[in-house]
Chain A
């Protein structure tokens, strides 16, 4: 499978004046999408691509080939050679990545083979049957990917990695009032999937969803954020922890290194080593991916920085990309957190968030897939989906309690090849969460 990469490398090595980075990626997906407790469609897709970034001095040109072969490689390389001298320089470029250490090998099954369609539909049928007892139907996706990646560069780097993420997302929607709840599984080891526990969690949510539907007025609320919500806020926040955002003056963390900015209970790491999560061997430009403390007991500890910005900004290089964010659990039981709320909200999931001003971490977004009213420590009603307009920094400043357990939450990146990552987070109790309007709908 690497003959095209090796062919291109051999051609490039004939030009000692060039620096280069070549990445070959083979990617497959088996994608089951369902609605109304039945198949919507089954998709199988695969792709083999070869990309090459070429430097001559401080001049950069890159090309990508889908379905590469020697003829295509020759044509692209020849065009690159004819063009590169005429390009303007990037004065900030110094060198390609030169960190050469290898990640320890991981045993990984191809989950596309392990979890075939018939096994997937059997699992879904089981959950559909249970949901039907409560007059709910299932909507969602059950996906397995398999990708192999190899990166070589002119500094002697030669690194390979394999991933096979699984993503199961089930939304149960009530047939009459459209009240929706969500249950997910994500990871690379299906051994962690406990079908009985998954069904049990889903049913518990279906029971809460039987409550009457109400609306609430805009204002500040005490809220319990489900792990998915806390994880998503921290993912958005982590974009400001990148050297790239610091360079473009959009980072909230500018001038905050080693400052205490959040309560001591807030600790965030980027950790690729958790077996319950989707692993990552290498980060930016092939740098080995290691655990990095981002927020430690409320103190901002590090920017995620690649080789380019390391040279440009003088920050320590780590290659982290924020794909394995973990928010440390706290000390509280979830039941105690909920029962301590006099009047507030339980928020299950977020939708369509967008920064208003990333430097201030201000953003707007909505709740979905189950927003509940808590009165006197008990869930009493389903609430219409709500809009919030908040600052993530303020949300974390207002953390009152974190659950003593963290959950693996899968997320998908839907804007390119369907990549899947996981984040780990506990429930969080937040004071003064700003609900800015109601959608008046479920």
Chain B
């Protein structure tokens, strides 16, 4: 395949092309789902091929992608990509330009501890079936779900500057959830929550202690049916890692994707309140807030040796000591902003057009354990396990609901609340952060499902976070 991709790039080496790159991916995917204890889906797709060719001609990008890797298809795609660029250049005011970079060569092979595609199928199915039976509907539990998604992606990348990479990674997305019902009301609990994926194989089920938490979600779902709601207008909240990852994702991650500044995502994903003039001066969060994009950490799903336009993986400070320092950029946009490209250009599959994407976007750890943070909280709520999320076009006004909240009084958890909902304005919220737990609580939380771009792409990415506390947050939503 190395020869194939390099031969395609060789065909694209011509004076009328200022840049071109080619991706080839082969993806294995397996989905297993049990509903109410019964196997409802076991589907697989093996070695799914994809090829994408992107060319920059006359200052405009053209792209063509296909699942067909035959020689005839390659010739057709090259012509189509060039034609798309030429036609696009006829409706153009500003040409896409960026400086050349030193070519990189990279090879990376990830090995999971338990390869989900090679382990005995009985072992995999029996474990999931046992899990499904453990949370099967009974009493007030009316619905249950156990799901596993396994992915292996082999990827080749090459461009006309001479960069080349070959990588292979395994990702797993495990989840279980139950629904309890009583008197026309339903409440749900899931484990391990919204961002449960990982750069791992089947071992993720053991590491995330699924079996050990079946009783907990069964009990909490039923307890939520009779739990109170939050009655205060404002409260201090501690946000657990799984949900904080989503808060970070929505209100910092997407907000600092620089393609949004120039309106390249207005038609679907939206804009951002961030402006280029804010770099270096804007107080995005409190002094203890440090947020970085790190595509060099192989523990996260956002790891790559080089990104999808040839930029080597980088760690970039996005927010340092609360101040906005940098952006997630493409080469074109970094050039416009006078920044170094941040190595954030990614395409979900080879036949997708690369976009500015989060990789591993993390909050640097602070100090102390979660237990200590709760102990040091006079009155508030510990919230985790995302239920609903929503944020505006500019990534400024957000509102989240979690499945459960744990009430804290005088440093101790004294009960639960149902559907705790909080809302805020992004910079005010991050400036209200007064404590971040330490390294011992810090972990990656990952998703398979970050949607962006048109035609739509869903990206695998990670957020490294530790639980954090936010002071005086709006927790009263009138309906």
**Is B299 an interface residue when CB atoms closer than 8 A count as contact?**
no
Which B-chain residue is minimally distant from A28 (CB atoms)? Answer: B66
Contacts of A141 in B (CB 8 A): 267-268, 454
**Is A391 an interface residue when CB atoms closer than 8 A count as contact?**
yes
**Is B251 an interface residue when CB atoms closer than 8 A count as contact?**
no
1/0 contact trace for A388-416 toward B, CB 8 Å? 01110000000000000000000011111
Query: CA separation between A351 and B397, bound complex, in Å?
Result: 12
| Contact across chains for A90 and B38 when beta carbons are under 8 A apart | yes
Contacts of B142 in A (CB 8 A): 249
Q: Which of B42, B49, B89, B397 contacts A439 (CB 8 A)?
A: B397
| Contact across chains for A44 and B455 when beta carbons are under 8 A apart | no
- The segment from B56-64, B210-218, B374-382 that touches chain A is B56-64
Considering the complex, which residues of chain A in the window 21-62 have a beta carbon less than 8 Å from any beta carbon of chain B?
A: 29, 31-49, 59-62
**Is B10 an interface residue when CB atoms closer than 8 A count as contact?**
no
| Contact across chains for B45 and A65 when beta carbons are under 8 A apart | yes
Contacts of A125 in B (CB 8 A): 91
**Is A178 an interface residue when CB atoms closer than 8 A count as contact?**
yes
Interface residue tally on B, bucketed by range = 35 or more
| Contact across chains for A42 and B181 when beta carbons are under 8 A apart | no
| Contact across chains for A43 and B451 when beta carbons are under 8 A apart | no
Please give the distance in Å from B92's CB to the nearest CB on chain A. Answer: 5
| Contact across chains for A33 and B454 when beta carbons are under 8 A apart | yes
Contacts of A441 in B (CB 8 A): 273, 392-394, 396-397
With A43-B353, A440-B396 as known contacts, state yes or no: A62 contacts B41, CB within 8 Å. Answer: yes
Query: CA separation between A419 and B263, bound complex, in Å?
Result: 23
Q: Which of B38, B264, B390 contacts A354 (CB 8 A)?
A: B390
Considering the complex, which residues of chain A in the window 105-156 have a beta carbon less than 8 Å from any beta carbon of chain B?
A: 117-118, 121, 124-125, 137, 139-141, 143
Query: CA separation between A32 and B87, bound complex, in Å?
Result: 10
**Is B17 an interface residue when CB atoms closer than 8 A count as contact?**
no
| Contact across chains for B45 and A64 when beta carbons are under 8 A apart | yes
Contacts of B290 in A (CB 8 A): none
Contacts of B42 in A (CB 8 A): 60-62, 83, 87
Which B-chain residue is minimally distant from A145 (CB atoms)? Answer: B455
**Is A340 an interface residue when CB atoms closer than 8 A count as contact?**
no
1/0 contact trace for A283-326 toward B, CB 8 Å? 00000000000000000000000000000000000000000000
Q: Which of A32, A366, A391 contacts B392 (CB 8 A)?
A: A366
- The segment from A94-102, A259-267, A270-278, A430-438 that touches chain B is A430-438
| Contact across chains for B87 and A415 when beta carbons are under 8 A apart | no
**Is A355 an interface residue when CB atoms closer than 8 A count as contact?**
yes
| Contact across chains for A39 and B88 when beta carbons are under 8 A apart | yes
Considering the complex, which residues of chain A in the window 230-282 have a beta carbon less than 8 Å from any beta carbon of chain B?
A: 247-250
Which B-chain residue is minimally distant from A434 (CB atoms)? Answer: B479
Query: CA separation between A312 and B291, bound complex, in Å?
Result: 50
Please give the distance in Å from A150's CB to the nearest CB on chain B. Answer: 17
Q: Which of A39, A352, A356, A390 has the most CB of B within 10 A?
A: A39
Contacts of A62 in B (CB 8 A): 41-44
**Is B131 an interface residue when CB atoms closer than 8 A count as contact?**
no
| Contact across chains for B419 and A356 when beta carbons are under 8 A apart | yes
Considering the complex, which residues of chain B in the window 247-291 have a beta carbon less than 8 Å from any beta carbon of chain A?
A: 262-264, 266-268, 270-271, 273
1/0 contact trace for B51-91 toward A, CB 8 Å? 00000000011111111110000000100110111011111
Query: CA separation between A288 and B80, bound complex, in Å?
Result: 36
Please give the distance in Å from A300's CB to the nearest CB on chain B. Answer: 16
1/0 contact trace for A170-195 toward B, CB 8 Å? 01010000101000000000000000
Query: CA separation between A73 and B325, bound complex, in Å?
Result: 52
Please give the distance in Å from A141's CB to the nearest CB on chain B. Answer: 5
Q: Which of A89, A364, A416 contacts B390 (CB 8 A)?
A: A364
Please give the distance in Å from A395's CB to the nearest CB on chain B. Answer: 12
Q: Which of A42, A86, A89, A355 has the most CB of B within 10 A?
A: A42
Contacts of B185 in A (CB 8 A): 359
Contacts of B262 in A (CB 8 A): 35-36
Query: CA separation between A365 and B69, bound complex, in Å?
Result: 42
Contacts of A159 in B (CB 8 A): none
| Contact across chains for A351 and B92 when beta carbons are under 8 A apart | no
Query: CA separation between A41 and B96, bound complex, in Å?
Result: 11
**Is B399 an interface residue when CB atoms closer than 8 A count as contact?**
yes
Please give the distance in Å from A142's CB to the nearest CB on chain B. Answer: 10
| Contact across chains for B396 and A352 when beta carbons are under 8 A apart | no
Query: CA separation between A75 and B64, bound complex, in Å?
Result: 29
Contacts of B50 in A (CB 8 A): 66
With A121-B90, A389-B399, A436-B479 as known contacts, state yes or no: A33 contacts B392, CB within 8 Å. Answer: no
| Contact across chains for A171 and B186 when beta carbons are under 8 A apart | no
Q: Which of B39, B90, B394 contacts A60 (CB 8 A)?
A: B39
**Is B113 an interface residue when CB atoms closer than 8 A count as contact?**
no
Query: CA separation between A389 and B69, bound complex, in Å?
Result: 48
| Contact across chains for B397 and A45 when beta carbons are under 8 A apart | no
Query: CA separation between A124 and B88, bound complex, in Å?
Result: 12
**Is B122 an interface residue when CB atoms closer than 8 A count as contact?**
yes
**Is A385 an interface residue when CB atoms closer than 8 A count as contact?**
yes
Considering the complex, which residues of chain A in the window 183-241 have a beta carbon less than 8 Å from any beta carbon of chain B?
A: 218
Please give the distance in Å from A31's CB to the nearest CB on chain B. Answer: 6
Please give the distance in Å from B166's CB to the nearest CB on chain A. Answer: 20
Considering the complex, which residues of chain B in the window 86-143 have a beta carbon less than 8 Å from any beta carbon of chain A?
A: 87-94, 121-122, 125, 129, 142-143
Contacts of B474 in A (CB 8 A): 437
**Is A8 an interface residue when CB atoms closer than 8 A count as contact?**
no
| Contact across chains for A436 and B419 when beta carbons are under 8 A apart | no
Please give the distance in Å from A137's CB to the nearest CB on chain B. Answer: 8
With A41-B353, A354-B388, A416-B456 as known contacts, state yes or no: A67 contacts B49, CB within 8 Å. Answer: yes
**Is B308 an interface residue when CB atoms closer than 8 A count as contact?**
no
Which B-chain residue is minimally distant from A41 (CB atoms)? Answer: B61
Q: Which of B61, B63, B68, B77 contacts A48 (CB 8 A)?
A: B68
| Contact across chains for A37 and B93 when beta carbons are under 8 A apart | yes
Please give the distance in Å from B268's CB to the nearest CB on chain A. Answer: 6
Please give the distance in Å from B412's CB to the nearest CB on chain A. Answer: 28
| Contact across chains for A391 and B38 when beta carbons are under 8 A apart | no
Considering the complex, which residues of chain A in the window 358-376 have a beta carbon less than 8 Å from any beta carbon of chain B?
A: 359, 362-366, 368
**Is B40 an interface residue when CB atoms closer than 8 A count as contact?**
yes
| Contact across chains for A364 and B125 when beta carbons are under 8 A apart | no
Contacts of A178 in B (CB 8 A): 271
Which A-chain residue is minimally distant from B137 (CB atoms)? Answer: A249
Q: Which of B44, B67, B122 contacts A86 (CB 8 A)?
A: B122
| Contact across chains for B268 and A414 when beta carbons are under 8 A apart | yes
Q: Which of B39, B81, B351 contacts A87 (CB 8 A)?
A: B39
| Contact across chains for B125 and A47 when beta carbons are under 8 A apart | no
| Contact across chains for A171 and B267 when beta carbons are under 8 A apart | yes
Q: Which of A40, A47, A391 contacts B66 (CB 8 A)?
A: A47
Q: Which 6 A-B pairs have the closest CB atoms?
A: A414-B456, A42-B84, A39-B88, A439-B397, A418-B455, A117-B87
Q: List 14 A–B pairs whose Cβ atoms lie within 8 Å, in order of A's numbering.
A: A38-B94, A45-B65, A45-B455, A65-B45, A88-B129, A137-B263, A139-B266, A139-B267, A140-B266, A173-B266, A249-B181, A354-B388, A415-B449, A439-B394
Using a CB–CB cutoff of 8 Å, the interface residues on chain B facing chain A are: 35, 38-50, 60-69, 77, 80-81, 83-85, 87-94, 121-122, 125, 129, 142-143, 179, 181, 184-186, 262-264, 266-268, 270-271, 273, 351, 353, 387-394, 396-397, 399, 401, 419, 421, 423, 425, 449, 451, 453-456, 458, 474, 477-479
Q: A48-B67, A90-B40, A440-B396 are in contact. List 4 more A-B contacts (CB 8 A).
A: A67-B48, A139-B267, A248-B179, A412-B268
Using a CB–CB cutoff of 8 Å, the interface residues on chain A facing chain B are: 29, 31-49, 59-67, 72, 75-76, 79, 83, 86-92, 117-118, 121, 124-125, 137, 139-141, 143, 169, 171, 173, 178, 180, 218, 247-250, 351-357, 359, 362-366, 368, 385, 387, 389-391, 412-418, 434, 436-442
